[in-house]
């Protein structure tokens, strides 16, 4: 018998082929959110702020965000809340995009 968690973890056995390109992290996050079936028992709160474009494999990034969301959804109780938040920080000499998924 296979559980959803084991199915998600089995993906790690395969070699990942990365295809990095300039990406919009907020767009990737919205696509991950919209790909899941949300129920009324869990409230999803989005706080997506403007962030700099990033250089990443958008498909793999969406899979990672989806995994975070699934883990949060599995952990939160009925009537709970999941908050997805992005923000931009400047830490000289770099700027970075920070994403938080909290239940």
What is the per-residue pLDDT across 19-69, written as a single tens digit (0 to 9) for each?
889 989 899 989 998 888 776 688 888 999 888 888 889 998 898 899 888
Domain extent at residue 65 = 16-102
Q: Domains in the chain: how many in total?
A: 1
Residue 8 lies in a domain: no
Does residue 80 surpass a pLDDT of 90?
no
Q: Give me the pLDDT at residue 22, please.
A: 92
Predicted TM-score (pTM) of the model is 0.72
CATH of the domain at 67: 3.30.565.10
Compute CA 95 distance to the chain's CA centroid, rounded to the nearest angstrom: 20
């Amino acid at each position: 018998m296979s559980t959803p968690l084991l199915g998600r973890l089995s993906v790690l056995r395969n070699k990942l082929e990365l295809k990095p390109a300039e990406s919009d992290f907020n767009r990737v996050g919205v696509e991950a959110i919209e790909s899941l079936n949300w129920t009324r028992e869990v409230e999803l709160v989005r706080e997506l702020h403007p962030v700099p474009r990033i250089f990443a494999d958008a498909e793999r990034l969406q899979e990672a965000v989806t995994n975070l969301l699934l883990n949060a959804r599995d952990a939160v109780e009925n009537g709970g809340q999941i908050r997805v938040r992005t923000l931009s920080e400047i830490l000289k000499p770099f700027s970075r995009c920070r994403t938080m998924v909290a239940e």
